[in-house]
Amino acid sequence: MLLRLLLFVGFLALGVLSAEDFYKLLGLKKDASDREIKKAYRTLSKKFHPDKNPGDQSSHDKFVAVAEAYDGLSDEETRKIYDQYGHEGIKQHQQGGGPRQQHDPFDLFSRFFGGSGHFGHGGGERKGPNMEVRVAVPLRDFYNGRKTEFTVEKQAICSACEGSGSEDGHVETCDVCGGRGVRIQRQQLAPGLFQQVQTHCDKCHGKGKTIKHPCPVCGGSRVIREPETHELVIEKGMPQGVRISYENEADESPDFVAGDLIVHLQESDPQYGQRDHERTDGTFFRRRGKDLFWREVLSLREAWMGDWTRNITHLDGHIVQLHRKRGEVVQPNSVEIVADEGMPVWHEHLENNAGEQFGALHVEYVIVLPDQMEKAMEKDFWGVWEKYRKKHTVSLDKENGRPEGPIVMPTDDGHDEL
């Protein structure tokens, strides 16, 4: 009795999902293009696939409902019926023997990603090669974290013929090779001596099948090249070169399960953008691990006399203030380390679930000397320096033990005996 009740509740939940508006279910507007409908199905079918959500009945039901929504909206005729009459119109169309029958959700999934409708976790299915791409993002995205998108061109199963290669869906087994794709030929080497040679079938070109009416979109090849956009989630503090894997998003084929798309995240060259948050000093920080590096330029007066302040805008817009009091000297190429103003530490590198942590900001000071001085300024400076030079004069040659004149090198006319 309890089992029957649970089954009833399950079917009731499935009925509620199926009754949900197809466009709302796919997250689309009613004027969505065929490409947008296809993209929505791709994303949601993978999200709710039972292989990724084992034991989750609600995800299974959602997977079935998403397949039904795509099945209804991907065909021009059934989409018109749905737009005009809703779910009831689709139901009557199917009962009336309409030319398009509802697909099994796993069969529909297999036409998009190859294989048997599963994620290649078993069954001896052949998996295609992985695809690796590099995506470059600015340093501020590594610092702040960001959700963005990137587009790659890949091989996709032709949606016009659903991967059959045939315009009318009719595919025949090759009558020459019997569907094997190869032919066995006998060659006579000598009287009474023969050799069997295996070659590709010329008629079907090794495919084992022939098509009388090739698909006009893919030309019978069953696959096409098309751009595909993916969401990219950049987490705070991710290291350069980190690999982000998208399961079963590599090149597709009806003959194998799609491999994985692997993204190598790189840092793009620094450059100012057009918006305010893209024009911070931090744009030109340099990164090494969890630390950041910056060069600050000081004039001779600032380095010698102090009494200056610098406001540096960080990658998230907050201010890092550098300063020296009057009389505090900054030596050329000296480095000041500002704690907790470096990169955030990626959560996967934190130990024992520690809270948010940051590296340090290393500030190197570069001193710029004036090319020339006005005569009056030069006279004043010279007077001040001469006054203190006479009082506290120090000869660096004497301090370092250097001679006052040239050193005479010894000459030796003798010869060493061997």
Residue 59 lies in a domain: yes
Mean pLDDT of 361-372: 94
Domain harbouring 311, CATH code: 2.60.260.20
Residue 177 lies in a domain: no
Residue 119 lies in a domain: no
- Mean pLDDT of all residues belonging to the chain: 84
pLDDT value, residue 91: 80
For the cut 50, the answer to whether the pLDDT of residue 395 exceeds it is yes
Residue 143 lies in a domain: no
Residue 229 lies in a domain: no
Q: How many CA atoms lie within 13 A of 301 on its CB side?
A: 7
pLDDT value, residue 49: 87
For the cut 90, the answer to whether the pLDDT of residue 95 exceeds it is no
Choose between 96 and 20: higher pLDDT. 20
Judged by average pLDDT, the poorest of 16-25, 184-193, 201-210, 386-395 is 16-25
Range of the domain at 95: 2-103
* pTM (2 d.p.): 0.73
pLDDT value, residue 221: 87
Judged by average pLDDT, the poorest of 15-19, 82-86, 321-325 is 15-19
Residue 121 lies in a domain: no
Residue 30 identity: K
Top-ranked range on mean pLDDT: pick from 169-173, 391-395, 401-405: 401-405
Choose between 161 and 235: higher pLDDT. 235
Under the banding of pLDDT at 50, 70 and 90, the label for residue 88 is: confident
pLDDT single digits (tens) 9-39: 444 444 444 457 899 989 898 888 887 888 7
Under the banding of pLDDT at 50, 70 and 90, the label for residue 107 is: confident
Residue 150 lies in a domain: no
pLDDT value, residue 186: 76
pLDDT value, residue 388: 84
Judged by average pLDDT, the poorest of 109-118, 201-210, 234-243, 246-255 is 109-118
Assign 3-class secondary structure to the chain. CHHHHHHHHHHHHHHHHHHCCHHHHHCCCCCCCHHHHHHHHHHHHHHCCCCCCCCCHHHHHHHHHHHHHHHHHCCHHHHHHHHHHHHHHHHHHHHCCCCCCCCCHHHHHHHHHCCCCCCCCCCCCCECCCEEEEEEECHHHHHHCEEEEEEEEEEEECCCCCCCCECCCCCEECCCCCCCCEEEEEEEEECCEEEEEEEECCCCCCCCEECCCECCCCCCCCEEEEEEEEEEEECCCCCCCCEEEECCCCCCECCEECCCEEEEEEECCCCCCCCHHHCCHHHHCEEECCEEEEEEEEEHHHHHHCCEEEEEECCCCCEEEEEECCCCCCCCCCEEEECCCCCECCHHHCCCCCCCCECCEEEEEEEECCCCCCHHHHHHHHHHHHHHHHHCCCCHHHHCCCCCCCCCCCCCCCCCCC
Under the banding of pLDDT at 50, 70 and 90, the label for residue 287 is: very high
pLDDT single digits (tens) 128-186: 899 999 999 999 999 999 999 999 999 988 878 878 888 887 888 888 787 777 777 77
Residue 224 lies in a domain: no
Domain boundary (103, 124, 158) is at 103
pLDDT value, residue 176: 79
Judged by average pLDDT, the poorest of 6-20, 83-97, 323-337, 343-357 is 6-20
Q: How many domains does the chain have?
A: 2
Domain boundary (56, 76, 103) is at 103
Q: From CA 351, how far away is CA 4, in angstroms rounded?
A: 49
Judged by average pLDDT, the poorest of 132-141, 186-195, 228-237, 317-326 is 186-195
pLDDT value, residue 414: 59
Q: How many CA atoms lie within 13 A of 79 on its CB side?
A: 13
Mean pLDDT of 274-300: 94
Domain harbouring 34, CATH code: 1.10.287.110
Domain boundary (41, 76, 103) is at 103
Q: From CA 372, how far away is CA 375, in angstroms rounded?
A: 9
Q: What percent of the chain has pLDDT over 90?
A: 35
